Amino acid sequence: MKKPELLVTPKSVEHIEDLISSGADAFIIGEQQFGLRLAGEFSLKQVNEATKVIHAANKKVYVAVNALFHNDRLEALDEYLMELQRIGVDSIVFGDPAVLMAVRELNITIPLHWNPETTATNWFQANYWAERGAKRAVLARELSLDEIIEIKENSQPEIEVQIHGMTCMFQSKRKLLGNYFLFRKEAMEIENRKENKNMFLHDKERKNKYPIYEDLNGTHIFSPNDMCLIDELTELFEAGIDSLKFDGILQSDDYITTVTNLYRQAIDAYFDQGEEAYEALKDDLLEKIEVIQPPLRPLDTGFIFKETVY
């Protein structure tokens, strides 16, 4: 049985070095002009610097190019992809077929990871994109464990699954926050989403608070709870899931670093010492996450053990 990749989302080049020490295998980086909902903003210069650091540690770097591209962004997309080719990143994460077409036309040789967010829900889709060049399919977070396992059993490409962090439940291309504050005749600069990480939509009826922020790609609203599967990994291990992703968006550097190390311990316990070692350790690992978990972000298991409800 192959040990799965532990994939994380760093906030800076300096943070990458800490995450390497904490046991991360791979990193997703990028910038909001081309990628969606990243933990940190990486210019091309910083992508180049990060790639050198990551490759020196024999780890992998993936660049998010999974935005929805309007016509006026296509020329910049071509230039961006050619620069990623020059830098030598390990994968391009995409959802829009425009990226696939550009990669073909430009003879880009970087492997592709298909990530259409919520619509990756069956193995026919995964195999369709594999036949068109995708090495990996990133599954929707709204799938149950049984659905994930069934997709893995019937898929040609590698399969990536999120196992920790926030999950986006809504995106609008409109600047809803900016328009709201404009309506209230209040100024609001939406330039640095890190400054807006404590903004919430309040649902009094359900007593939920939904994190919300706005950037170049519009407005993003997240689920009220954080996914945490550190004590529920056995069946994902047994299914042979290729990559386990911890999404650290809107979290602190220290939180991301600590949680990365706890998942590293979980994976290594199972694959280096056996299932019993993991079973003996997992409750303690969960407790350590609960101690540092932000009070406004309760933990749950997402849709792993329940059907999707809209």
Digit-coded pLDDT (tens) for 161-189: 999 988 765 555 556 555 545 444 444 44
- The predicted pLDDT at position 107 comes to 96
Q: What percent of the chain has pLDDT over 70?
A: 81
What are 5's strand-pairing partners? Answer: 243
* Tokens matching residue 19: 């995450």
pTM (two decimals): 0.85
Give the C-alpha separation, 194 to 266, whole Å.
Answer: 30
Tokens 């992508």, residue?
47
pLDDT tens column, 217-250: 767 666 778 899 999 999 999 999 999 999 988 7
- The predicted pLDDT at position 127 comes to 97
Q: What is the dihedral of CA 109, 1, 154, 229, to 10 degrees?
A: -90
User: Please, what are the domains in the chain?
Assistant: 5-167+226-300 (3.20.20.70), 171-221 (no CATH)
Instruction: State mean pLDDT over 50-56.
Output: 98
Give the C-alpha separation, 284 to 268, whole Å.
Answer: 15
Give the C-alpha separation, 9 to 38, whole Å.
Answer: 7
Q: Starting at the earlier edge strand, list the strands of the sheet with 218-222.
A: 168-172, 218-222, 208-215, 200-203
CB 308: neighbour CB atoms within 10 A? Answer: 13
- Give residue 201's pLDDT band: very low, low, confident or very high (50, 70, 90): low
Q: Is the pLDDT score of 204 beyond 70?
A: no
